[in-house]
Structure 1
Amino acid sequence: MSDPQIIIDNLKTCWASCRELYGSLDGDQWDVGSHCPDWTVKGVLAHQVSVEQALSGWIPESVETPHPFGEIADFFTAAMAMEGPALVALADETWAARAAQLEALDDEVFARGSVTPVGPGTYGRFMAIREFDHWMHERDCRTPLGLPTNNGGPAAEMAMTEVHLSVGYIAGKKVGLADGASMHFEITGAIERDIYVAVDGRAGEVDHVENPTVTLHCDSMAFMDLTCGRIDPEVPIAAGLVSWSGDEQIGAHAARNLRFTM
């Protein structure tokens, strides 16, 4: 299976799971506050739909092609004016159209240079970031609603990879790991990964560190919530979902300073 097809399949998995979630809601559930401070559950869905509406039909020629996000505000306003069932129907229509558009593209388009939310990249990377966004936003709603989540599988792995790609920045800039220090992210739970970062002038991922300065032990969903700034770090720390070994001071600081995006 090609990388573009993996991206498409994981996007479709996210959209189907979101459709199941939002299609089950009624009444006051739409007005529950999500893990995104400015948005209710309805606001999250309106955001998810409006971004895909803006991306519909947009294909970059190069990294110089402007993104279409200037259109999002109007789409979002229109989406928020809808009742829940009508918004779910719009989501169905929009996501089905986006899936068809992506399926019709050849691999060259996915490899083509493109602006992305994290700087110059490829169209494929942009779509992988979209997958991360949808995966995370579903959990931004399910958790406050008290609904269960399946936090493993290929879609979850792809979403975590978007955070994984930024571990050097997280360790170096957010945690402030000093030159010569190293860090092991021991991720367990629904997703299992061992990620190592060392600082040699600049923090960057390395294959392995035998005796890291600090090891951060994280449940995978707690790791995602903390790096994305979704929850108070004291909550997973108190629950035993995040702990540390090695340098006590660095570990305690790291566990509370993983946020690099929202």
Structure 2
Amino acid sequence: MPSTPAQDEIVPALIEQWDVLDGLLREIPEADWRAASILPGWRVQDIVSHIVGTELMLLGEQPPAPVSDPREHEHVHNDIAAINEQWVEHLHDETPERMRDRFRAVMSQRATTLRELSSEQWDQASFGPTGPTTFGGFMRIRLFDCWMHELDLRDSTGLAGDEGGPRGVISLDVIAAGLPYAVGRKARAPRGSTITFTTTGPVERAIHIEVGEKARLVPAHDGPPTVAITLPFGLLARLAAGRVRAVDHRGEITVEGDAGLATAILDNLAFVM
């Protein structure tokens, strides 16, 4: 995955993602905004607060000073999570109507900023949640984050939606880039192993990994892989993000090859922050 994705691909997809979220926020019943979400410690509204807060920071606004230490919460495990919690606390008592209006206003500003970026600004060195990248690379991560939180909102409220299209394709690019880490570092797949993930559903793809000194993505394998795992695209995304456990979805997953290694991989897929 290139560090700088195409500007004319990411910008429209990210703006589309915000538009989809805007529509979703207007579907969520008022009572559900204060209900617990699938994310530990967060209500449905808190997911929206996180998205809004992150985009406000990209517009230059600093997170408000916390009333209490965010790290006192059990679900806050690092500095990024602590910053997220500052926005959640700041927007805690806003009404759903004000949150919807704030979301629309902030994303409108961000969309204008993105449309006005030069190619030089897009390629400029930056730093994202996964480390050094370019500004364009960071925006690809922003798209994935917003897309993943759309799934969180839908899973929390029972409102179904389309997980495919360009937004899903780009999100799978981000997930695929992290799979070698999950396979090699977390699952400790032995050297010489070859793994293929095949996704079904709205985004279909075969993702090939081989393990040498490090696990890495490869275009294809020379022969049958050590492990072949076939599963729905949405399930792979939720496993990678730590939203669900593979053991609870075995009926949706097909495994060929080394069953023990497959179990180790599936049980260690969560790598998304």
TM-score by length of 1: 0.90
Question: 1 CA distance for matches of 2:161 and 2:272?
Answer: 21
Q: Deviations over 1:107-148 (max 9, x none)?
A: 111111111111111000101100001000011011121111
Question: 2 CA distance for matches of 1:253 and 1:219?
Answer: 19
The residue type paired with residue 249 of structure 1 is G
Question: 2 CA distance for matches of 1:19 and 1:3?
Answer: 24
Say whether residues 1:38 and 2:41 are aligned partners. yes
Question: 1 CA distance for matches of 2:34 and 2:243?
Answer: 18
Q: Kindly tell me: are residues 42 and 257 of structure 1, through their superposed partners in 2, closer, same or farther at Cα, counting changes over 3 Å?
A: same
Question: 2 CA distance for matches of 1:194 and 1:71?
Answer: 36
Q: 1:255 is matched with which residue?
A: 266
Match for 1:217 among 230, 234, 249?
230
Match for 1:90 among 76, 81, 102?
102
Question: 2 CA distance for matches of 1:248 and 1:153?
Answer: 32
Question: 1 CA distance for matches of 2:135 and 2:171?
Answer: 16
Q: 2:169 is matched with which residue?
A: 157
Match for 2:196 among 179, 184, 199?
184
Question: 1 CA distance for matches of 2:219 and 2:234?
Answer: 23
Deviation at 1:74, TM superposition (A): 4.6
Contact 1:26 1:84 in 2 (8 A): no
Deviation at 1:71, TM superposition (A): 6.9
Question: 2 CA distance for matches of 1:98 and 1:195?
Answer: 33
Contact 1:243 1:255 in 2 (8 A): no
Contact 1:169 1:203 in 2 (8 A): yes
Question: 2 CA distance for matches of 1:227 and 1:69?
Answer: 18
SS at match of 1:166: helix
Contact 1:227 1:261 in 2 (8 A): yes
Q: Deviations over 1:9-65 (max 9, x none)?
A: 11111111111111122332112322321211100000000100011148xxxxxxx
Q: Kindly tell me: are residues 71 and 221 of structure 1, through their superposed partners in 2, closer, same or farther at Cα, counting changes over 3 Å?
A: closer
SS at match of 2:156: coil
Q: 2:187 is matched with which residue?
A: 175
Aligned identity (percent) is: 27
Match for 1:241 among 252, 262, 273?
252
Match for 1:123 among 114, 135, 138?
135
Q: Which has the higher contact order (CA 8 A, sep 6+)?
A: 2
SS at match of 1:231: coil
SS at match of 2:229: strand
Match for 1:197 among 190, 198, 209?
209
SS at match of 1:148: coil
Which consecutive residues of structure 1, in runs of 5 or more, have no partner in the other structure? 59-67
Say whether residues 1:52 and 2:55 are aligned partners. yes
Q: 1:15 is matched with which residue?
A: 18
The residue type paired with residue 45 of structure 2 is K
Match for 2:30 among 1, 6, 27?
27
TM-score by length of 2: 0.86
Question: 2 CA distance for matches of 1:46 and 1:256?
Answer: 30
Contact 2:193 2:225 in 1 (8 A): yes
Please tell me the root mean square deviation across aligned C-alpha atoms, in Å: 1.9
